[in-house]
Amino acid sequence: MLELIFFFIHAIQPLLVPICFVVAWTVTILVVLSLWSAARESVATAKQMHQIPCTGCQFFTDDYRLKCTVRPSIANTEEAIHCLDYQPKTNPYLY
């Protein structure tokens, strides 16, 4: 049995360097592509979240118990992007 393993190792030894080279670069490229994809998706999500107008609305309370007095179920969510009840704050210095 050991002779078979010894023979197999000596048979593939000239191919180990190119195989390891290709595998190492493949793993490196996959990691870089994965990081690039994650960064691109997080930027797209951040752009969408910045379109939520709740913090500038007159009905937004900034209280975790009742975020919005008109539509509390959709406050600070993606559904609030086109909220029909949005009214800009009349006094931006009030919280």
Largest alpha-carbon pair distance within the chain? 86
Q: Taking a C-beta distance cutoff of 8 angstroms, is the pair 76, 63 a contact?
A: no
Is the pLDDT reported for residue 21 higher than 80? yes
Is the pLDDT reported for residue 56 higher than 60? yes
**56 conformational bin, left if phi > 0, alpha if psi -120 to 50, beta if neither:** alpha
Q: Which residue has the higher pLDDT, 74 or 39?
A: 39
For range 32-57, the mean pLDDT? 94
pLDDT value at residue 90: 82
Structure confidence by residue, pLDDT tens digits, 57-79: 888 888 888 888 898 888 888 99
Task: Quickly tell me which residue has 């937004």 as its tokens.
Answer: 60
